[in-house]
Amino acid sequence: MSKLLNCLKNKDFSCVPIWFMRQAGRYLPEFKQLRSQNPDFLKLCLNSDLASEITLQPMKRFNLDAAIIFSDILVIPYALGQPIEFGKKNGPRNLKLNINKFLEINEKNFLSTLQPIYKAINKTKSALSKDKSLIAFVGAPWTLMIYLYNFKEKNKFDKKITIKNKNEIKSVFKKLDEFLKIHIINQKQAGADIIQIFDSWAGLIKDDDLNEYCYKPNESLVNFCKENQIPSICFPKGLKENYKNFLEKVKPDAVNIDYDIDPLWAKKNFGNICIQGGMNPDILLKDEKIALQETEKYLEIFKNIPYIFNLGHGILPETNPTIIKKIVDRVNIIKR
């Protein structure tokens, strides 16, 4: 069993598994070269050979405990018939929800669109050694809805979102729940060991709406993972003190904390759960000594509980791969 699976399943803290969100991608020279030859990001995600190659790039550089498949949470709305554009700097844009088409897409057409991802997972799994895990992922319904309704453009993310068209949103959430589960099980069958559920914009949900739009949807996905013996990691970014309520209701195998969460508070309040991440990716852009000191801080705080070293968000494009290697090497010497 891999270090990561041992930590998730058995709550073993004799060592610290390490991987990074966005470890495959934009900060690596080899990725930048490949990306320059493939300007269409969505096509790149749906190219089995290239997606697998990109997934394995950081595994060849660093002694990481897991690969995370190179893909995007928005392949789900795309496979549900919605147009998506990815800008070079601003990410996804110009989503205009066609609700009728969205609700009409069937499983056969959905799976046909996403088949290259499952091929990439299968190919990557075959290339990994048995002591390495393969992580696949989905976006939670709320976060996908943010993009489907273009809230990113309208809201600018400076305030909580008020939901007005609740009946339509209910239909959208129901469809997403159904097809996210289809995507999860097909990723598992293709070879994924673990599912991470990204609720990247959970912090925009009003407190009164958290149960409806965050806790229940994530719990549904986590329970589905449990029924199918798939370890799950949840990342409800931006929930602040509501992380505690989230864990009490959703009960994933692990939770990724964001960089606004005090790690000491998390350790005290989260009970018997595996904690992942926390460190601010901005730290990696600072002096090497500062980055390594921050690494030591997280390792010290979580030294006697199951902990997966990661960040409080993805690796930034400006990050020097050298500091990633030094952090990986430092974490890998831990034996308790």
CA distance 329 to 335: 13
Domains and CATH numbers, the chain: 3-332 (3.20.20.210)
Question: Mean pLDDT, to the nearest integer, of 232-261?
Answer: 98
What's the length of the chain?
A: 336
In order, the DSSP letters of 203-258 are GGB-GGGHIIIIIHHHHHHHHHHHHTT--EEEE-TT-GGGHHHHHHHH--SEEEE-
Q: What would the two tokens of residue 96 be?
A: 């205009």
Q: What's the CA gap between 84 and 72, in Å, rounded?
A: 11
User: Could you tell me the pTM of the whole model?
Assistant: 0.96
CA gap 54, 60 in Å, rounded: 10
170-201 in b/e form (b: 16+ CB < 10 A) is eebbebbbebbbebbbbbbebbbbbbbbbbbb
Sign of CA dihedral 106, 193, 320, 296: positive
Strand partners, 137: 196
139-148 per-position pLDDT tens digit:
999 999 999 9
pLDDT per residue over 68-106, tens digit each?
999 999 999 999 999 887 766 556 655 788 999 999 999
